[in-house]
Amino acid sequence: MSSPHDVVITGIGLVSSLGEGPDAHWQKLTQPGFQPVLDAERFAPYTIHPLPEIDWNLQIAKRGDQRQMETWQRLGTYAAGLALDDAGIKGNDELSTTMDMVVAAGGGERDEAVDAAILAASESRNDRDVLLNEKLTTELRPTLFLAQLSNLLAGNISIVHKVTGSSRTFMGEEGAGVSAVETAAARIRSGQSTHVLVGGAFQTEHSDMLLGYELAGYLHRGPWKPVWQRQGSEGGGVVTGSGGAFLVLEQREHAKSRGRRIYAELGPIVSGRARRRRGELNSEIAALLEQAHLPDGDLLTISAASGAHAATAAEKTVLDANPALAVRAFSTLTGHMKEAQFPFAVALAAMAIDRKAGYPVFDATAEKPFDGAPGTVLATAIGYHQFEGMGLIKAA
Amino acid sequence: MANLKDHMGRPVVAVTGIGVVTSLGVGKTDNWAALTSGKSGIHPISRFPVDHLNTRISGMVDFLPSSSKGASHLTYELAETVAQEAVSEAGLDSGDFGGPLFLASPPVELDWADRFSLYNSDKKDGGSERLLRVARALKELDIFETTQFGSIADRLADRFGTRGLPITLSTACASGATAIQLGVEAIRRGECDKALSIGADGSATAEALIRFSLLSALSTHNDIPEKASKPFSKDRDGFVLAEGSGALVLESLEAALARGATILGIMRGCGEKADDFHRTRSKPDASPAIAAVRAALADAGMSEDEIEYVNAHGTSTPENDKMEHLSLSTVFGERIGSMPVSSNKSMIGHTLSAAGAVEAAFSLMTMRESVIPPTINYDNPDPAIVLDVVPNKKRNAEVGTVLSNSFGFGGQNTCLVMAREPV
């Protein structure tokens, strides 16, 4: 039964190594045997999925605005612009100024040259704290701080796209993306919001962004492999990618009244926090599947599995136990985009609903075929280190 | 019998526990005594050398076991300390809280101390390659966890037995208020009957200080530290970087009354409005701040005449105080000249991600104690800002309702309306 306060998806903005926008992603992801775009050289021994070529001017008109951001903020602002365009909101003052926003964010890029110079000098100095003051006070670009602040991705979206109803930034890897979608949906269902911009971006082409994983040995090394085949390989299993995913979520009535195309309806979103050290992850994933109330019959499942050995093995075990699930781990083709993982999964699920077709297997050894038009799609995001979530996306 | 539903039919949200830490001390008792005697917590920086720094003072929290252990550890301890105080006061089980957690905390980065120690642990290659190579050989997760944005909340969730996936958020200097707003909204939507909202910030590192300094945001009145933060004064020259934490246990009034809890105050309304003008500056006409105040009043179902006191954002920067005055005088009209408006930051400095939560805690205490903390260092009033700032000395006054403002970089504006009693 549809209700006026249902949450529907009316805009999708995607960027990854595969290109930009739903069409480009659909085209590549539905090509059987499509090979990922990889760069194994620049950050060797790590492989990454690099950003495609982007003409920032298309979504960030002012050069001055572009200069105030580093790539992560530009990427997020760009992907947000794509979603707003797709939903017919960009440039509409009335809709932009009343639009709420929840962004899932990490931090922005540090100045690698300044850091490297300080580290090099630290080898011959014992007064490292003084060295720090000396270098940082003279060598940091003053406005770089703003390009690093987590909430300034949302801030830039307000400035560039005029989204000013409200602005909240959630932090915390994949879990932030889950909470952002969950909170945005709850606001719409309760009548607090009529339309919400929600999403995130991750720019992996920076040594600190790799370091954030590698301090716990999470990155995969050696030749690239699909997400499900990295157990036992050198390293920790995660191959990262640059990209972003933003969604326009809207109250059904609001979308209909302005005659917008609806990709899909956002069903229940569930989330949790397994105490993984106590071995609770498998049971937590199973419990979330239970709470999501899966429909009967075969179910296309868009998994944001990272490849991280323990989390990915747990997810695979639990999903494999349900023979109805036809799983697609998209990070095989895009790399892991941290905060953007869950919004990305929801976007791919909505596209499958909208186009009445599933995706071919991304990894023939671990994924099974899905035929026909999916009426409901499951999207999962099991964090590489902590936090779990999933949701159902349904035909509108 | 108090109404259990508000003017929009939503559950009324009560506060049943409060915790606070600032440079003035640990806990409500010490903080309140210092705050109402006009004492400043601003002092010379001793945590790191101040060579080459233009600003050499702060409101750091230097007296906790984690004070010298880096931003992540100190932020956790600040959060844990206030959460324990708040949950105990509420009379709830501090190992099995049973509601969601909303944590406002600063963005995390690998601390320089760890960066230096990783880098200097061997001499092969250099730069980021060396860091990555050393990093992947680490056997412990301690350093890793300081770089994960969700780790502090994850630890707090373990410690207090909060329910579900904890939310860590940043809306810059409005973060603490946003954490409270998220808790209020979750209760109003019926998702839970209690929530734990915390703002904590232990990130006053040398690099943080330098970053704000390079943006010319900080006071450089180093000579008499306790005089440096002077909101609404003519010679104000920037904020004073500080640390602290505040926590509130929020509960539906119905659930709180049913278990016989003491009601410490009511969260009447929350309002927000983003500014699209500039990354650090507010729109000159203050329209987003005005809209945020009005949104909070509308959410509370109150008219501007019903606000009796304003706990100002009052950072002591030339820009904020001017803009805040413009927004308040626009909303409250002529009445603003005779309405008490004071800034806790004159004594504790700007606790950044924690500020909204710390100041909500003090706002609630202001109502309960019938004492308005002063704006200290108000020796040289800005003639362009005509406000009753409760200058220099506390004032005994019955206060039934408070507006607390929080404005931040990135166009973040969040306002809270609180009341002493349910209606």
Stretch A298-305: mean pLDDT: 98
Q: What is the pLDDT of residues A364-378, one digit of tens each?
A: 999 999 999 999 999
Q: A247: distance to nearest CA of chain B, Å?
A: 19
The rounded distance, in Å, linking the Cα atoms of B351 and B318 is 18
> Crossing angle for the helix pair A71-86 and A152-161, nearest 10 degrees?
50
pLDDT at A3: 83
pLDDT at A172: 92
Query: For the CA atoms of chain A, what is the radius of gyration?
Result: 21
Question: Which of B53, B123, B279 comes nearest A155 by C-beta?
Answer: B279
In this predicted structure, the answer to whether residue B133 has a pLDDT above a threshold of 80 is yes
Q: What is the pLDDT of residues B286-343, one digit of tens each?
A: 999 999 999 999 999 999 999 999 999 999 999 999 999 999 999 999 999 999 999 9
Q: pLDDT band for A199, please (50, 70, 90 cuts).
A: very high
Peptide bond before residue A45 is cis, with ω within 30 degrees of 0: yes
Stretch A61-76: mean pLDDT: 97
Among A84, A106, A94, A234, CA closest to A160: A84
pLDDT at A331: 98
Q: pLDDT band for B140, please (50, 70, 90 cuts).
A: very high
Residue of B nearest to A170 (CA): B169
Percentage of residues of chain B with pLDDT beyond 70: 100
Using a CB–CB cutoff of 8 Å, tell me whether A183 touches chain B. yes
Q: What is the pLDDT of residues B219-242, one digit of tens each?
A: 999 999 999 999 999 999 999 999
User: Active site includes B350?
Assistant: yes
In this predicted structure, the answer to whether residue A296 has a pLDDT above a threshold of 90 is yes
The rounded distance, in Å, linking the Cα atoms of B295 and B271 is 4
Using a CB–CB cutoff of 8 Å, tell me whether A378 touches chain B. no
Which amino acid is residue A80, in one-letter code? A
Q: What is the pLDDT of residues B182-211, one digit of tens each?
A: 999 999 999 999 999 999 999 999 999 999
Cβ–Cβ below 8 Å for A146 and B279: yes
Question: What residues of chain A lie within 8 A of the CB of B101, using their CB?
Answer: none
User: Active site includes B173?
Assistant: yes
Using a CB–CB cutoff of 8 Å, tell me whether B189 touches chain A. yes
The domain total for chain A is: 1
Q: A31: distance to nearest CA of chain B, Å?
A: 36
Name the catalytic one among B173, B192, B270, B415. Answer: B173
User: Active site includes B270?
Assistant: no
Residue A113 placed within a domain: no
Question: What residues of chain B lie within 8 A of the CB of A128, using their CB?
Answer: 112, 116
Cβ–Cβ below 8 Å for A107 and B148: no
Stretch A140-164: mean pLDDT: 96
Stretch A242-252: mean pLDDT: 98
Give the pTM.
0.98
pLDDT at B1: 75
User: Please, which residues have CB within 8 angstroms of residue A269's CB and are 6 or more apart in sequence?
Assistant: A178, A181, A182, A185, A389, A390, A391
In this predicted structure, the answer to whether residue A1 has a pLDDT above a threshold of 70 is no
Tell me if B397 sits within 8 A of B253, measured CB to CB: no
Say what the ipTM of the complex is. Answer: 0.98
The CATH number linked to A45 is: 3.40.47.10
With H, G, I as helix, E, B as strand and everything else as coil, classify residue B347.
Answer: helix
Using a CB–CB cutoff of 8 Å, tell me whether A166 touches chain B. yes
Q: pLDDT band for A155, please (50, 70, 90 cuts).
A: very high
Residue A177 placed within a domain: yes
Tell me if B51 sits within 8 A of A130, measured CB to CB: yes
DSSP string covering B143-210: HHHHT-TTHHHHHHHHHHT--SS-EEE-BTBTHHHHHHHHHHHHHHTTS-SEEEEEEEE----HHHHH
Q: What is the pLDDT of residues B366-419, one digit of tens each?
A: 999 999 999 999 999 999 999 999 999 999 999 999 999 999 999 999 999 999
Q: How many angstroms separate the Cα of A346 from the Cα of each of A110, A182, A353, B56, B296?
A: 30, 11, 11, 48, 33
Residue A127 placed within a domain: no
Q: What is the pLDDT of residues A254-281, one digit of tens each?
A: 999 999 999 999 999 999 999 999 999 9
With H, G, I as helix, E, B as strand and everything else as coil, classify residue B279.
Answer: coil
Query: How many other CB atoms are found less than 10 A from the CB of residue A140?
Result: 18
Residue A208 placed within a domain: yes
Which amino acid is residue A347, in one-letter code? A
Name the catalytic one among B192, B221, B350, B415. Answer: B350
The whole domain housing A315 covers 7-108+149-394
Using a CB–CB cutoff of 8 Å, tell me whether A91 touches chain B. no
Q: What is the mean pLDDT of chain B?
A: 97
User: CATH number of the domain at B13-108+148-419, out of 3.40.47.10, 3.20.20.150, 3.30.1490.70, 3.40.50.10950?
Assistant: 3.40.47.10
Place of tokens 């005088």: B329
